[in-house]
């Protein structure tokens, strides 16, 4: 076990509306639950038997900015009782561009937020409409400028492979994002999740995914343009200006222990992942009723933990140092996946040299299809 967690995730499950592609743990249009949620969160935080000194805190969702400034301050007053961020801690808040206004930014600053992950997705009106987003490109520009002025580090999300989107559209989006000079960009390819409105429409022939070829070209365009603009491609989906990697995600990828609170939130003690019930109402009921809100408990064997470590390690651009991997996990990569590794190397998807194993650009482009063999 690797000591007390120094990272905390807090799930805020509220959104104004549910975007058609989204299958996250959230409730839309249920602001009537917010006060009970905050009460339940305060109760769940009492699970900690001692205050935690933390390096990173991440408020994700859902849309944490949907709480508004006043409730955000109430939430942070509550957190301060048990969570003690160190000096220069990274405190990230996910925000919808529409929620970012002066009072909100001032409240976020008073709370100690250092970094805002803006759910921008695109700066093209047609793509935003297709993606069922409720904001416009100008909202992203305005929000980004306001956050920069407040001295906050900004991460902008870019979504690719939206129905009808072309490579040229993505190139335009990249130009628009680069011109906003964010410190960090996350690029996600649209996935068609079971149970979403998008997947239902796809089955009915009303929405059509882009081709694999186009999807790949879009991702390559992102790698090239963001690389030219001085961003370091440090993980499959993540690009950062020097010194601006997401430290919270790096804790996940190092499989360091972390705490998590809220519906659907998963915590990890170095070996066991414990996930809260995904339903916001059930989680609230259980916590306020004094019952265990846990849904799943996934205790990994040493080998399973090592396999997961291999995947998160290879998702990072730097890959893994074989000797360090063995020291930490107790396994060599080849003990876990010799055949796959040999095949990747033969196919030009991975390289193993001087004690290091990493994915090539071609490997990164198809990485999602590689992991089933390892896990």
Residues that bind ligand SF4 in the complex, under the rule CB under 6 A: 15, 18-19, 22, 24, 26, 61-63, 96, 119
Nearer to ligand SF4, 42 or 124 (CB): 124
Residue 292 CB, shortest distance to ligand SF4, in Å, is: 26
Encoded tokens for 358: 């990493």
Nearer to ligand SF4, 14 or 268 (CB): 14
Nearer to ligand SF4, 22 or 214 (CB): 22
Residue 61 CB, shortest distance to ligand SF4, in Å, is: 5
Name the closest residue to ligand SF4 (Cβ).
22
Nearer to ligand SF4, 42 or 94 (CB): 94
Phi, psi of 303 (to 5 degrees): -70, -40
Residue 109 CB, shortest distance to ligand SF4, in Å, is: 23
Nearer to ligand SF4, 24 or 252 (CB): 24
Residue 14 CB, shortest distance to ligand SF4, in Å, is: 8
Nearer to ligand SF4, 63 or 122 (CB): 63
Residue 216 CB, shortest distance to ligand SF4, in Å, is: 23
Q: What CA–CA distances, in Å, run from 350 to 317, 326, 340, 341, 364? A: 11, 19, 10, 7, 9
Residue 152 CB, shortest distance to ligand SF4, in Å, is: 19
Residue 305 CB, shortest distance to ligand SF4, in Å, is: 29
| Angstrom distance (rounded) from CA 66 to CA 14 | 7
Nearer to ligand SF4, 13 or 333 (CB): 13
């Amino acid at each position: 076990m690797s000591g007390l967690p120094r990272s905390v995730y807090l799930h805020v499950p509220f959104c104004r509306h549910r975007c058609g592609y989204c299958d996250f743990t959230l409730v839309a249009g249920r602001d009537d639950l917010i006060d009970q949620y905050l009460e339940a969160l305060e109760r769940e935080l009492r699970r900690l038997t001692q205050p935690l000194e933390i390096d990173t805190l991440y408020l994700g969702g859902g849309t944490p900015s949907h709480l508004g400034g006043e409730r955000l301050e109430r939430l942070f007053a509550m957190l301060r009782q048990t969570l003690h961020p160190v000096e220069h801690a990274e405190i990230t808040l996910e925000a919808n561009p529409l929620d970012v206004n002066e009072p909100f930014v001032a409240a976020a600053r008073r709370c100690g937020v250092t970094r805002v992950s803006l759910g921008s997705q695109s700066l093209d009106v047609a793509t935003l409409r297709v993606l069922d987003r409720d904001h416009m490109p100008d909202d992203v520009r305005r929000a980004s400028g306001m956050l920069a002025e407040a001295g906050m580090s900004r991460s902008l999300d870019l979504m690719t492979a939206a129905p009808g989107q072309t490579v040229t559209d993505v190139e335009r989006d990249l130009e628009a994002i680069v011109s906003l000079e964010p410190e960090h960009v996350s690029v996600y390819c649209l996935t068609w999740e079971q149970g979403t409105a998008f997947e239902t429409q796809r089955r009915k022939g009303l929405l059509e995914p882009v081709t694999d070829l186009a999807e790949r070209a879009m991702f390559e365009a992102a790698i090239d343009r963001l690389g030219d603009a001085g961003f370091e491609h440090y993980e499959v989906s993540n690009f950062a200006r020097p010194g601006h990697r997401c430290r919270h995600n790096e804790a996940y990828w190092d499989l360091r222990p972390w705490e998590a609170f809220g519906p659907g939130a998963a915590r990890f003690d170095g070996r066991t992942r414990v996930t809260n019930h995904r339903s916001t109402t059930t989680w609230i009921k259980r916590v306020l009723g004094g019952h265990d809100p846990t849904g799943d408990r996934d205790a990994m064997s040493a080998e399973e933990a090592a396999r997961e470590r291999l995947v998160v390690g290879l998702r990072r651009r730097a890959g893994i140092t074989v000797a360090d991997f063995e020291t930490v996990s107790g396994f060599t990569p080849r003990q876990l996946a010799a055949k796959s590794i040999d095949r990747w190397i033969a196919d030009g998807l991975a390289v193993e040299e001087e004690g290091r194993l990493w994915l090539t650009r071609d490997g990164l482009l198809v990485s999602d299809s590689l992991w089933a063999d390892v896990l």
